[in-house]
Structure 1
């Protein structure tokens, strides 16, 4: 109560961005699994996977620009080696 700092708008925004990154990554992985499990590759399934991948990559770049530290962002940065 006393002496406790309130979270700033940037901290709240960063946390919301990080939550969104996690959600989109889960959706992308689910779309990939669905695409792998379906025998006849449907164009709609392929497009859904690509859309989710594009969303994740956009949010990933935004998180990197804002220097948001998170498990998903850190792991993806390590696999991509995009520190520049």
Structure 2
């Protein structure tokens, strides 16, 4: 009984991590798109893009530790 509860909790948080990864990837692509379309380089915009990239790769590394598999490229709004 105790192990079943642990497995369901792990599954629940794995799904939340995966959804967070998808959202973070969308944010990263959005900030990169804005940065590419801006003529002058803005320090704040550059920092936001860098932060979004760091967040995504941190979550990606965490997902690899937990052995979560999935496709984060589906259902993206471009």
TM-score range, shorter chain: 0.7 to 0.9
- Structure 1, unpaired ranges of 5+: 1-5, 74-84
Equivalent in the alignment of 1:41: 41
Alignment RMSD: 1.9
CA distance in 1, matches of 2:64, 2:55: 14
| TM-score normalised by structure 1 residue count | 0.77
Equivalent in the alignment of 2:58: 58
Please list every run of at least 4 consecutive aligned residues from structure 1 whose deviation after the TM superposition is greater than 3 angstroms. Answer: none
- Structure 2, unpaired ranges of 5+: 74-78
Q: Where do 1:7-26 residues align within 5 Å?
A: 8-26=8-26
CA distance in 2, matches of 1:62, 1:72: 14
After superposition, give the CA deviation of every residue in 1:59-82 in whole Å (9 maximum; x if it has no partner): 000000000111028xxxxxxxxx
CA distance in 2, matches of 1:16, 1:70: 13
Secondary structure (helix, strand or coil) at the match of 1:68 reads coil
Q: Larger relative contact order (C-alpha < 8 A, sep ≥ 6)?
A: 2
Q: How many residues align?
A: 69
CA distance in 1, matches of 2:57, 2:69: 16
